[in-house]
Structure 1
Amino acid sequence: MTATPGLRRDAQANLEKLRVAALAVFSRRGLSAPLEDIAREAGVSIGTLYNRVGSREELIDAVVDNLAGEKLKALRDRTLEAETPRAQLETFITEMIDLQLSDPAMNDAMLRRYPDAVLLINACERSMALGAELVETAHVAGVLSDEFTPEDLMTVLWMAGMASHDPAAPHGWRRVVDRSVSAAWTDHPNS
């Protein structure tokens, strides 16, 4: 939601208030937070939100760089700083799960709950492409079973995302996810 030529100053101010409110509410409550809550936090009517933004997906895409882009870039940087293929993949998995646990909006994003939020989905796809690349690198290095595929990685992250925000999920879900990944390694942890 950048400055739009031709909009009155108060309309521009409302757009900025909506952007700030969307970041705050989505970060606290996830991408499915009621749009009424965002409008209320911005101090505008729900009609103003729809008139200025259009839809939930357009609002998500308007804040995606602040909401997900910076976090996913930091995750990528930390992952690629790890010294071995195993350490890189372990870092990616651990930090992605931790991000899903700590940030309801990122969890919704990684679970692709809003597929029409194109910019958000693109950011998530770049992260999943990195994950697939890390799986392949670990295969080439001989530290990961060939049976563990990029789809398996996505499944592990999906299970973690679903369980992390479901109050009815068994308490041991993280241990089961960790064991699933541990069983796929072909080397010792320090390799």
Structure 2
Amino acid sequence: MKTTARKMTVVLVCVLALVVPQMAFAHCDALDGPVINEARQALDKGEITPVLKWVSAESEDEVRAAFAHTLKVRALGDEARELADLYFFETLVRVHRAGEGAPYTGIKPAGTIDAPIMKADQALENGSVDALADAISAHVGKAMRERFTHALELREKADESVDAGREYVEAYVQYVHFVEGIVGVVHGDHAH
């Protein structure tokens, strides 16, 4: 039973995307995100294979060409290396984002990845999602209870006046949409 609850909780990570704008979750475009970290390693080793998993087969040639150009330009000095690396990062991230159906909005500075997303990556590194699942479960439960309590309190006064009724309806809609969002995520009815 506990394993099922944990699995459901992990799925609820996506619920945060319903509450916080999607751009806050993009971390493949951050200088300290997983895509660029692997790109750095690939450039240092001169081996592109590890980064190709981040792009579709149809886009592989574009990324391979950018990688080859980057390796050539890197040999021209430190400034050329820095510029070439940025060119490769931008190409890789742009192609990766396009494969997700997401717009490319540039490379974000290091340190801009939201804490829950960093913890999701750390869970993969550590081999356990339990602490993250428990924290997100607690957060989602608290947020649902707050919306429920607010709607319930306003429901008791909803028929006192039109304004009170409208206030209740607003709280009701926020509560129900929150629940609908969770159900949508659990059933896979959400965008990436």
Larger radius of gyration: 2
Structure-1-length-normalised TM-score:
0.29
Q: Taking CA–CA contacts closer than 8 Å with sequence separation of 6 or more, which of the two structures ends up with the larger relative contact order?
A: 2
